[in-house]
Amino acid sequence: MNRLISFKIVDSKTEAINYMLEHGIEYTMNVIEKKERSRELLERYLHEGLPELPSDLSDISIMERE
């Protein structure tokens, strides 16, 4: 319940219980896992910076798209 509140999915423990009853435990856990993964990625990118992206497309990647 506290994780639902900390991720601002719900505002109170009562709403958290109602959310779990309405959507089911499995769905609720999936939502929490996605939020945790998003938070981890955001923290990593804020700490390390964004990954370097290639400035041009190689011939191989262009051919793969066609």
pLDDT of 23-66, one tens digit each?
A: 999 999 999 999 999 999 889 888 887 766 666 655 556 556 66
Q: Kindly state whether residue 33 falls inside one of the protein's structural domains.
A: yes
Q: Kindly state whether residue 12 falls inside one of the protein's structural domains.
A: yes
User: Long-range pairs for 23-31 at CB < 8 Å and ≥24 separation?
Assistant: 28/4
Q: Kindly state whether residue 40 falls inside one of the protein's structural domains.
A: yes
pTM over 0.95: no
Which domain covers residue 13, as residue numbers?
Answer: 2-49
Residue 9 has pLDDT above 80, yes or no: yes
Tracing tokens 């009562």 back to the chain, one arrives at: 14
The pLDDT value given to residue 15: 94
Q: Kindly state whether residue 54 falls inside one of the protein's structural domains.
A: no
Q: Kindly state whether residue 26 falls inside one of the protein's structural domains.
A: yes
Domains contained in the chain, number:
1
User: How many of the other CB atoms lie within 10 Å of CB of 45?
Assistant: 11
